[in-house]
Structure 1
Amino acid sequence: MQQQAKRLLKLALNPVLVLLSLMSSGVWAATAEKAEHWRGNMTPGVTEVGHKIYDLHMLVFWICVVVGIIVFGLMFYSVFAYRKERHSEPATFHENTKLEIAWTVVPFLLLIIMAVPATKVLIEVYDTDDAAQDILITGYQWKWKYEYINPNGDNVTFFSNLRTPESEIGNEEEKGSNYLLEVDEPVVLPVNSKTRFLVTANDVLHAWWVPELAVKRDAIPGFVNEAWTKPTETGVYRGQCAELCGRNHGFMPIVVNVVEQEEYDQWLAGKLAEAAELKELMAKEFTMDELVARGKKVYERNCLACHGANGEGGVGKAIAGSPLATGSTKGHLDVIVNGVPGTAMQAFGGQLNEVDLAAVTTYQRNAFGNNMGDMLQPVDVYKFKKGQ
């Protein structure tokens, strides 16, 4: 019986010693590098912390593989080596001190081997200090709002919507290579610069997830979660909402363009110029044609999915001939700005600027055969919001 116990102890310890030797020699890292190309494996991405997470993942993976080989190897060895036809009289011993010490100490050492690097990586993952720029991310059903926070007060704010055409979604046209992964306004980040994300939600639970940037954070109404990234390579990186958030959960992608610092500065300056131009538009008196043309674009981007291309309705009520679109202008604007509680009709007052709100209201009242002949100016929307 003592010889059998020693044999089992030797079988159990040898693979562990081999694993420790591989780790110290760096061979395991080379094996993990090859595993990077496995289609079912996670990606190391384009950040230093992403590579550390990947290395930790591979370390734990190979430890689990070795443990599995040991456990199942001992099990099958015992089944075949000590079956009844070879040992008609069963062993009568109840315990072996060395074996019990081994299967207590070895798992403890393995936990230490995993816990030390895991703790270091977790500390780094949650260290959001010293960021060069802060971006507030807010999840909506079903789009993302981004606000680049400027300490001087000139923030850049925009919404990012799905850009995949309805014809592809409805199988009327062949689907593109980035089906459901294209947006009208991507996030732009500078390369080799640390960006802090403040993630929250306006309505229900969402999750902002871009695997190659090593970022995944829950977006929870009333809470702000922090995350960060520092990409080391330029390129376009795509992600999706990773929390089931409703009917169009699969239609709110994330696109991040990582560019050189000079290009980022130019993009930011352009966005600030757009904000200044919008302030000027607030004081402009638009013609009916200008409002309808702008309102049509706003409708197609924000309203079409629920109310139909021709205002025929669907998820939402019909616009064509509806009492709302043919009733009072103030009542119509009130629904668009404040939404309808308990329904899928969102409040667009915080999602669209005054110019777009005036345009889309005017468009709905004069399209789809409604032909009301009235219109709203941006200043009217501004006064309506202030009077609430």
Structure 2
Amino acid sequence: MARKQVNVETLPQLTSMFDECGWSAVSSEVSWFSFHGTLRSMRERVRSTFPEYPGVYAMVNAQGHVVYVGMSKKLPKRLQTYFSSTTKRKKESWIRRTAVGFLWQPFPHPLLARLRERELIRRFRPMINVQGHPVQMKVGYIVATQQTAESFQLVTEIPKQHAGIWGPVPVNQLSKSAVEELNIQFGLRDCPKRTAMYFDGDKQAPETVPITCMRAELKTCLAPCLGSCTEGKYQRAFKSAKSFLSGRSQKVFSQIEEEMTKAALNRQFEVAAKLRDRTKGFRYVNDHLRRFHDWSSRANFVYPVQCELSQAELWIIVVRGIIVDVVPTPKETEDRTQVASMIETSRKQLSGESAKRNVSEPGDFEAARILFRWFQKESDETQKQFSLAQALKRLNAHKRKAS
């Protein structure tokens, strides 16, 4: 992905882009802070201007580029560091010198501010940010290609159409090799998408197909392009590979272990070494998937938080690790009905009654990772969660009382 920045011509245009937020209940006004005066006077302006709330900010240079995006649990404390005269704040001083001012926006909770920060980084791609930057992030996703005979690829950009997605995983030689070995282990194709597929029994298949595939000759691919297998057999192999990525991996590891032992006893040491390396790559990818992917598949709950701006309670509704919406705790009958309808729709997604069952955008994964790390760090906060079924029970109980 090429590094690029969002170019805007006027401050109002930048402010309107910065103000876009999917959670209407937590959106607040975006304000501008211009750099002028001495460092001391700007520190005093920060102390007198900014409330002690969580929030996000974006440094803007003279060309209208967002050069840095940050967040803080207490905005004044963080922003004053940019106007410090001590040598300990070299990075902050450098960021300040590249900008002419910054936009800032308060948020009701530190978790929401953190999520908003990553959203803005993905949108504006500031040149100074590293964490969360789509260019700087060296993570990828294992994607099941959506084609006649599916297989697996390791990609950094999630395609619009796919037959399944797992991740994120680090992008390095070990993970790349593991995905290649995954196709070999289950006999799945790795040829170009334009290659025609002719399953066994396909009436449209030509009478003779020249063998031009080395994997077909080595028996490491079911070779659907040569009509060497039925469509049903290929689909069973593909589903087995999906099960492996989804956590049912012990059978595969046991099978590889047996093959490796057999090869070693037959003094086929090169084959044994190849299987050993395959196991190493599979375990590496599996460990990464189990830490996050399994959590996100089970992360279906409502997380109540206290809004620091208004002291009201908010519901953060999470489905498969993704925040569906943030709403004030529903009290009126109409609000309860709307929230109940939203949760019911989410439950349909979980049961497979809706097409969109899994997260499918890079931003979705990044938001889920932030949520995952939040509950890892703030372990006591997990006790505040309640399930979607419990949320519906609360909402419907109020409805029964009203009737």
Classify the TM-score, shorter chain.
Answer: under 0.3
